[in-house]
């Protein structure tokens, strides 16, 4: 392994780091001081804020809101997806973003960007990491973003340019995408040596958020830890010596559900730099685990273990896998702490299931490899909070609660391990000499008890029996197929206007839908609600992914009206049911199947029972009983939220809700399950409140005004 030649940020650099208004971006009284993670994060934000007028936006929680295509937030751009797609509510604050900077908590442990399997094996992959990013939404493009990145790295952080390599998109003939010569020229004009500007294909230089969504060619900046040589051939070569540190994506397309690429109406920039890797560079380490984001954690892990200190070995030099175990535990406990602080708990579905696997993997490494006693994992949480709490205060707010959740899940795992062992033993006895362990039993242990599959295989193989991997694989594939089908059926809806359609609607001057008539109802003296009728004009029809003038009998389409009394799915409440009639044919009903709000337009999905044209006059009728049932249950979620907090304390946090006419679901976080007695108390208190029959107030206000109302609780939406 070649020696790492660290460089230090010298006073020469530090003294020149001032911004245009004269305020210092960084100052240090220490000669040759090494930047800490806090310094590096702050310098990044200040550089874009002070020198380049970017607005600072806080990290969003790691649980993506309103985006079923993602398990976890996996990039800084996720919270801005509606801007790229043009579906952002034009009345929202976000619609005004042009230049933005942030430091985002990201988890890559599932879905398209999944680093779980690499964690621990190498020294630069993580399930949780921080992404420093800057964005332009229809503002600057390639030239400015390359120049800003180069200035920050070489002038502010003081990285010698001869340690850097850049890559650009070399094109893809099959997809008809040309090489990104503009970017190649930009780097050349900035003085980067031609042999350090390297073309790569789709895999490395075309970034995509997921199976669908915004994407585009990118240019990456790579760093050579060794220096004093030509390391071009090691770029993108999976070497710990030459690592990618910054990715600048030029968002130009949307990947559609059918796999095609459609051009986005505005050009944007989305950049992301992993803080952990940058820090390793700036602190002169090859391994992220040698930076101040990890060293205190590794020391805490050592205190609980019966093993020697962390020595940073990988592969075959890591005899008995002790160093890998250190890295896995350090990485996973950061992920667990951040996720639990954001309300994703280890559990049985989607992101929760992934988190449960992460917890169980960490517990196994802790107990089996480092021989730490149960409870050791949770004891690391305060150290994580010390390291990250400054940048993300929510992580430091409830360390005890996070520790309790980790401990409870660890105890559950240890007990299901013994249960699983018994199932394996019984199955082996019943097999009566057969040499293939049933894949269905292994899958059931994995799916229902959270038993790691590799552990089942290991235990079975120890008894000289092979695993029926064919069945196991088939069951895994079947589950994946069911998930994909569920996702696909969602994308076939006619209410999901894409960015091009939204832009077309705006260019044609179609006004956003006036939806205040949904609140036009009153409570009569007889105690019954009366809903006012609503008349509307068809402004646009969306059919087969295009805007059309007319739809015919049997066609499913999205109908956009000038105004509507239909409640679009929002705030956890189901959309209204009901129907339209045409003024010209009042006896023909158009049942409304779905109603959604997209980029300021309320889209009603109907399957036309007769021809329907742009300009048609309609009468709208909602199913009043269904609306009323939803209203009642929606109010009940607020009463339930209030009651839970009254009885169980401030630790109760709403995580979501779903209201239909038939039932309500209220998701909340709490340390322990409620006892029967507590449930009875909640019920009683709710019934008392309902009996008091107090008035319900509803009003739409700007977010900032709403947040200032005393006693009002919010669930943060992205």
Contact residues for ligand SER, defined by CB under 6 A: 75-77, 133, 207, 247, 249, 270-272
Rounded Cα–Cα distance for residues 41 and 103 (Å) = 7
Q: Decide whether 135 or 566 has the Cβ nearer to ligand SER.
A: 135
Helix (H, G, I), strand (E, B) or coil at 338: helix
Task: Give me 608's structure tokens.
Answer: 């036309």
CB of 133 to ligand SER, least distance (A): 5
Helix and strand tally (H, E) in the chain?
A: 20, 24
CB of 249 to ligand SER, least distance (A): 5
CB of 290 to ligand SER, least distance (A): 23
Rounded Cα–Cα distance for residues 714 and 706 (Å) = 9
Helix (H, G, I), strand (E, B) or coil at 206: strand
CB of 174 to ligand SER, least distance (A): 23
Q: Decide whether 280 or 442 has the Cβ nearer to ligand SER.
A: 280
Q: 181-189 vs 142-151: helix axis angle to the nearest 10?
A: 40
8 A C-beta contact, residue 279 and residue 40? yes
Q: Decide whether 249 or 328 has the Cβ nearer to ligand SER.
A: 249
Q: Decide whether 104 or 582 has the Cβ nearer to ligand SER.
A: 104
Residue whose pair of structure tokens reads 């976080």 in the numeric block? 669
CB of 246 to ligand SER, least distance (A): 8
Task: Give me 663's structure tokens.
Answer: 């039932």
Nearest residue to ligand SER, by Cβ distance, number only = 272
8 A C-beta contact, residue 640 and residue 572? no
Residue whose pair of structure tokens reads 């896998």 in the numeric block? 321
Nearest one of 384, 383, 364 to 374, comparing CA atoms: 364
CB of 81 to ligand SER, least distance (A): 11
CB of 209 to ligand SER, least distance (A): 7
Q: Decide whether 115 or 498 has the Cβ nearer to ligand SER.
A: 115
Task: Report the half-sphere exposure of 348 (CA within 13 A, side-chain side).
Answer: 5
CB of 287 to ligand SER, least distance (A): 21
> How long is the chain?
718
Rounded Cα–Cα distance for residues 148 and 168 (Å) = 17
* Farthest CA pair distance, the chain: 87
Q: Decide whether 272 or 558 has the Cβ nearer to ligand SER.
A: 272
Q: Decide whether 247 or 657 has the Cβ nearer to ligand SER.
A: 247
Which residues fall within 8 angstroms of residue 307, CB to CB, at 6 or more apart? 322, 325, 369, 370, 371
Q: Decide whether 275 or 417 has the Cβ nearer to ligand SER.
A: 275
Rounded Cα–Cα distance for residues 318 and 535 (Å) = 73
Q: Decide whether 270 or 498 has the Cβ nearer to ligand SER.
A: 270
């Amino acid at each position: 392994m070649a020696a790492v030649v660290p460089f230090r940020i010298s006073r020469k650099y530090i003294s020149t780091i001032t911004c245009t208004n004269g305020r210092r971006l960084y100052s240090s009284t220490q000669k040759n001081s090494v930047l800490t993670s806090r310094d590096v994060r702050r310098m990044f934000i200040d550089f874009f804020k002070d020198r380049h007028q970017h607005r600072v936006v806080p990290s969003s929680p790691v649980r993506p809101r309103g985006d079923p295509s993602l398990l976890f937030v996996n990039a800084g751009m996720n919270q801005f997806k509606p801007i790229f797609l043009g579906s952002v509510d034009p009345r929202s604050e976000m619609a005004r973003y042009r230049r933005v900077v942030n430091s985002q908590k990201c988890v890559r442990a599932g879905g398209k960007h999944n680093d779980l399997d690499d964690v621990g094996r190498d020294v630069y992959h993580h399930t949780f990491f921080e992404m420093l990013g800057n964005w332009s939404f229809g503002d600057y493009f390639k030239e400015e973003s390359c120049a800003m990145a180069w200035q920050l790295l070489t002038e502010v952080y003081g990285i010698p340019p001869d340690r850097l390599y850049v890559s650009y998109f070399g094109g893809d003939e099959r997809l008809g995408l040309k090489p990104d010569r503009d970017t190649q020229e930009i780097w050349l004009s900035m003085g980067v040596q031609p042999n350090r500007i390297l073309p790569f294909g789709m895999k490395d230089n075309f970034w995509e958020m997921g199976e669908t969504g915004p994407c585009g060619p990118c240019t990456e900046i790579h760093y050579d830890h060794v220096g004093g040589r030509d390391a071009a051939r090691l770029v993108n070569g999976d070497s710990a010596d030459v690592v990618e540190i910054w990715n600048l994506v030029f968002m130009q397309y949307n990947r559609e559900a059918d796999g095609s690429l459609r051009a986005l109406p505005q050009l944007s920039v989305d950049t992301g730099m992993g803080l952990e890797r940058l820090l390793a560079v700036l602190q002169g380490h090859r391994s992220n685990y040698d930076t101040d984001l990890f060293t205190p954690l590794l020391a805490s892990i050592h205190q609980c273990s019966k093993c020697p200190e962390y020595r940073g070995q990988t592969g075959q030099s890591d005899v008995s896998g002790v160093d890998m175990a250190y890295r896995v535990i350090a990485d996973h406990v950061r992920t667990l702490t951040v996720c639990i602080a954001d309300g994703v708990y280890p559990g049985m579905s989607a992101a929760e299931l992934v988190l449960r696997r992460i917890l169980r993997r960490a517990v196994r490494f802790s107990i089996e490899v480092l021989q730490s006693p149960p409870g050791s994992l949770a004891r690391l949480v305060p150290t994580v909070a010390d390291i990250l709490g400054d940048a993300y205060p929510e992580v430091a707010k409830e360390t005890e609660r996070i520790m309790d959740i980790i401990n409870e899940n660890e105890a559950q795992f240890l007990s299901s391990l013994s249960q699983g062992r018994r199932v394996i033993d019984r199955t082996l006895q019943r097999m009566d000499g057969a040499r293939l362990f049933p894949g269905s039993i292994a899958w059931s242990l994995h799916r229902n008890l959270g038993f790691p599959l590799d552990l089942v295989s290991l235990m079975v193989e120890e008894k000289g029996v092979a695993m029926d991997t064919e069945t196991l694989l088939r069951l895994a594939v079947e589950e994946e197929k069911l998930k994909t089908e569920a996702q696909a059926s969602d994308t076939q809806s006619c209410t999901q206007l894409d960015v091009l359609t939204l832009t077309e609607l705006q260019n044609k001057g179609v006004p956003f839908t006036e939806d205040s008539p949904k609140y036009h109802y009153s409570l009569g003296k007889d105690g019954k609600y009366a809903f006012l009728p609503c008349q509307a004009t068809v402004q646009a029809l969306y059919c087969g992914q295009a805007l059309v003038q007319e739809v015919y009998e049997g066609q499913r389409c999205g109908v956009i009206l000038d105004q509507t009394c239909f409640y679009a799915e929002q705030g956890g409440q189901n959309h209204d049911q009901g129907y339209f009639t045409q003024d010209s044919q009042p006896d023909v009903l158009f049942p409304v199947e779905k109603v959604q709000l997209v980029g300021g337009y309320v889209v009603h999905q109907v399957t036309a029972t007769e021809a329907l044209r742009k300009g048609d006059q309609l009468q709208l009728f909602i199913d009043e009983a269904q609306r009323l049932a939803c209203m009642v249950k929606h109010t009940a979620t607020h009463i339930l939220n209030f009651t839970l907090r009254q009885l169980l304390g401030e630790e109760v946090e709403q995580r979501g809700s779903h209201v239909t006419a038939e039932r309500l679901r209220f998701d909340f976080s709490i340390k322990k399950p409620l006892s029967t007695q507590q449930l009875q108390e909640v019920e009683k208190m709710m019934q008392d409140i309902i009996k008091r029959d107090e008035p319900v107030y509803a009003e739409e206000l700007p977010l900032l005004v709403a947040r200032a109302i005393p006693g009002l609780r919010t669930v943060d939406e992205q």
